[in-house]
């Protein structure tokens, strides 16, 4: 390997690493040049190492430690005669600004962990979060900080390779370098141990440019997978699930650096995945247990995998229904998995880890359970912003006009009940949110107060055009924009399109309804104060368009914790699993700053969004990108 080629390939990456260690861009440049100068001096020896870049990072570590030690000595020497403190350097300001751009939870976790040396357990106790959540904050915070510092470092100039070589030659002429065999062996042994440690703690996985002229940076190599595969990013993990010959092959990647965590094959039959998410600390997949010999044998099933290694913990096939009665329906909560036999059937609850049944209830009542808005992490629009994973402690059963509350962990009644409610209280279109029950008919929304703190709103749909065959108007009821309720009003059969146009409606207590026309029916996905539409872009908390006019027609893939939206324009194609050019933009919603990420060749509809991460199916396989 030629030194000049090695320098050109790695120098910017090494500068970013040094900048991350020092927070001082000028010092990072000095450290980087010194490290490469030392590498050039002994290139014949260094070039034979298994991982030259890891050795170089070891040199950078030592140089940075020497720099910090020197600063501490100088600081102690100044104690006797203190001088006025200088103002912050430009680099310190940049570092502080980068930290401020992170979500407060991540910035706080980084400060407690690195500045105060608190262990994860103490941080969890101080913040009131679970230890797994703290680890996720640290992981995502490091990734976010690295992305922001990377852009600063990438704009900085590294010396030309000839300057490094000249510096090394001058040093060679002025210093006598002796090679003692025993010392050399000791150094090689030490370097070998250090490389092993570095590989174990910080695996070297370079970020490479993505093909097709895109500004996305591909992380690692594409992962070969079946053509019919599903993608998902949850917190700091990326998942790919593909079907082949009835079996399900699931792979987990570290979404921060792209490293493979595990791959497992789950015996079939499996077909047509409908949900893949992390619930109760495990990876949960809901798909069809399909027997291709007879349609009557098609059933839903739940498969639960250990999040750490992917082994199957348990699997359960849901009971099928009839032509008039639905089969078992899964209700997924953080505490238990609930299976309900039809809309008013018997209920069974199962432990996520063991699959053992924890409680059951007889048939005769419809179930209502409060959904979960994502408290943190990205919103993956194709998979929904209202999670089908409830974090509530209670659920409700409606029997006629009576509603009773039950403890979710035990299945026992809490003693609370409400009587005299309107008929149809258990209808699947109704919404339970913050102690308010929102009842929906074809044309009317009303609120029943169960003693909670949600908004109390009412709404009557616009009248339909005379002669319209379908009179059902109200759909898609969700909490949105922080303190409001949203739904869509409108809709027609295809042959009557345009007669009763769609609108998104936002309702707040004590305020007039706010509406916005939609070109078509759309999926409302809340994200903090934003109202994201799968097809219609992003709206603010007053339903004003929050995307620039230039991005009209781009659908929203996801919104991350920092308020950056990933938008895509996908082609109209009929072949669902063929790759096509997908154009991508990143939008900072608050500032309207946009970045054209260019195009990638990917399967339309396969895009999964994370915090500055994108997972997509390409011709080479499932590829993870940073942006």
Q: What is the pLDDT of residue 536?
A: 65
Residue 85 CA to its chain's centroid (Å): 42
Which segments in the chain show pLDDT lower than 50? 72-85, 87-88, 91-92, 174-213, 292-297, 323, 375-377, 573-575
User: Is 84 within the bounds of a domain?
Assistant: yes
Measured distance CA(139)–CA(110) in Å, rounded? 9
Q: What is the pLDDT of residue 115?
A: 53
| Angle of CA points 478, 483, 485, to nearest 5° | 30
The DSSP result for 281-334, as a single string, is: TEEEEEEEE--TT-GGG-EEEEEEE-TTT--EEEEEEPPP--SSS--EEEEEES
User: Is 620 within the bounds of a domain?
Assistant: no
Of the candidates 103, 123, 127, 124, the residue with the CA atom closest to the CA atom of residue 113 = 123
Q: What is the pLDDT of residue 296?
A: 47
Phi and psi angles of residue 546, each rounded to the nearest 5 degrees, phi first: -105, 10
Q: What is the pLDDT of residue 83?
A: 46
User: Is 83 within the bounds of a domain?
Assistant: yes
Q: What is the pLDDT of residue 193?
A: 38
User: Is 422 within the bounds of a domain?
Assistant: no
User: Is 14 within the bounds of a domain?
Assistant: yes
Of the candidates 204, 169, 161, the residue with the CA atom closest to the CA atom of residue 36 = 161
Q: What is the pLDDT of residue 162?
A: 61
Q: pLDDT digits over 277-290, tens only?
A: 888 889 998 887 76
User: Is 123 within the bounds of a domain?
Assistant: yes
Cis peptide bond upstream of 31, omega within 30: no
User: Is 195 within the bounds of a domain?
Assistant: yes
Residue 570 CA to its chain's centroid (Å): 21
Q: Is the pTM value of this prediction over 0.85?
A: no
Range of the domain at 193: 3-206
User: Is 70 within the bounds of a domain?
Assistant: yes
How many angstroms separate the first and last alpha carbons of the chain?
Answer: 31
The answer to whether residues 267 and 247 touch, using CB atoms and an 8 Å cutoff, is yes
Q: What is the pLDDT of residue 388?
A: 60
The answer to whether residues 493 and 471 touch, using CB atoms and an 8 Å cutoff, is no
Measured distance CA(184)–CA(202) in Å, rounded? 25
Number of domains in the chain: 1
Cα separation values, 541 from 296, 512, 538, Å: 47, 14, 10
């Amino acid at each position: 390997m030629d030194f000049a080629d090695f320098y050109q390939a790695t120098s910017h990456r090494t500068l970013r690493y040094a900048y991350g260690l020092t927070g001082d861009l000028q010092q990072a440049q000095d450290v980087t040049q010194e490290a490469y100068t030392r590498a050039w001096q002994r290139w014949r020896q260094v070039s034979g190492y298994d991982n030259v870049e890891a050795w170089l990072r070891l040199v950078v570590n030592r140089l940075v430690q020497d720099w910090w030690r020197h600063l501490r000595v100088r600081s102690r020497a100044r104690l006797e005669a203190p001088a006025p403190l200088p103002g912050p350097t430009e680099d310190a300001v940049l570092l502080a600004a980068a930290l401020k751009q992170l979500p407060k939870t991540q910035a706080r976790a980084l400060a407690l962990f690195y500045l105060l040396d608190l262990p994860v357990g103490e941080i969890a106790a101080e913040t009131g979060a679970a230890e797994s959540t703290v680890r996720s904050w640290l992981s995502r915070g490091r990734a976010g900080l690295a992305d922001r510092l990377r852009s600063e470092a990438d704009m900085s100039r590294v010396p030309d390779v000839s300057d490094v070589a000249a510096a090394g030659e001058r040093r060679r002429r002025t210093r006598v370098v002796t090679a003692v065999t025993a010392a050399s062996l000791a150094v090689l042994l030490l370097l070998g141990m250090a490389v092993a440690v570095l590989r174990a703690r910080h695996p070297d996985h370079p970020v490479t440019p993505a093909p097709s002229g895109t500004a996305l940076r591909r992380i690692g190599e594409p992962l070969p997978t079946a053509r019919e595969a599903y993608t998902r990013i949850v917190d700091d993990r990326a998942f790919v699930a593909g079907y082949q010959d009835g079996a399900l092959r699931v792979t987990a990647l570290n979404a921060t650096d792209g490293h493979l965590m595990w791959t497992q094959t789950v015996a079939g039959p499996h077909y047509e995945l409908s949900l893949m998410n992390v619930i109760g600390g495990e990876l949960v997949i809901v798909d069809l247990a399909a027997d291709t010999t007879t349609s009557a044998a098609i059933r839903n099933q739940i498969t639960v995998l250990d999040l750490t290694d992917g082994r199957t913990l348990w699997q359960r096939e849901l009971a099928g229904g009839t032509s008039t009665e639905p089969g078992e329906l899964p209700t997924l909560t953080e505490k238990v998995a609930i299976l309900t036999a039809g809309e008013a059937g018997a209920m069974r609850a199962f432990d996520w880890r063991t699959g053992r049944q924890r409680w059951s209830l007889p048939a005769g009542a419809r179930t209502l359970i409060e959904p979960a808005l994502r408290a943190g992490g990205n919103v993956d629009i194709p998979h929904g912003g209202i999670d089908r994973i409830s974090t509530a402690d209670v659920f409700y059963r409606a029997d006629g006009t009576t509603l009773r509350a039950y403890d979710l962990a035990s299945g026992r009644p809490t003693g609370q009940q409400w009587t005299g409610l309107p008929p149809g209280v258990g209808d699947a279109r109704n919404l339970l949110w913050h102690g308010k029950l929102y009842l929906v008919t074809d044309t009317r929304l009303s609120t029943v107060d169960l003693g909670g703190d949600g908004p109390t709103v009412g709404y009557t749909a616009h009248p339909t055009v005379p002669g319209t065959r379908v009179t059902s108007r109200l759909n898609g009821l969700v909490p949105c924009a922080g303190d409001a309720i949203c739904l869509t009003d409108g809709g027609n059969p295809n042959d009557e399109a345009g007669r009763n146009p769609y609108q998104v409606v936002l309702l707040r207590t004590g305020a007039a309804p706010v509406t916005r026309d939609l070109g078509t029916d759309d999926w409302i996905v809340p994200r903090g104060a934003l109202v994201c539409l799968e097809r219609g872009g992003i709206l603010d908390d007053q339903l004003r368009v929050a995307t620039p006019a230039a991005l009209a027609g781009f659908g929203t893939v996801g919104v991350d914790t920092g308020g950056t939206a990933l938008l895509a324009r996908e082609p109209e194609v009929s072949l669902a699993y063929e790759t096509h050019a997908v154009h991508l933009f990143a939008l900072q919603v608050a500032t309207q700053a946009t970045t054209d990420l260019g195009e990638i060749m990917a399967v339309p509809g396969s895009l999964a969004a994370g915090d500055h991460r994108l997972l997509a199916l390409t011709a080479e396989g499932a590829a993870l990108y940073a942006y």
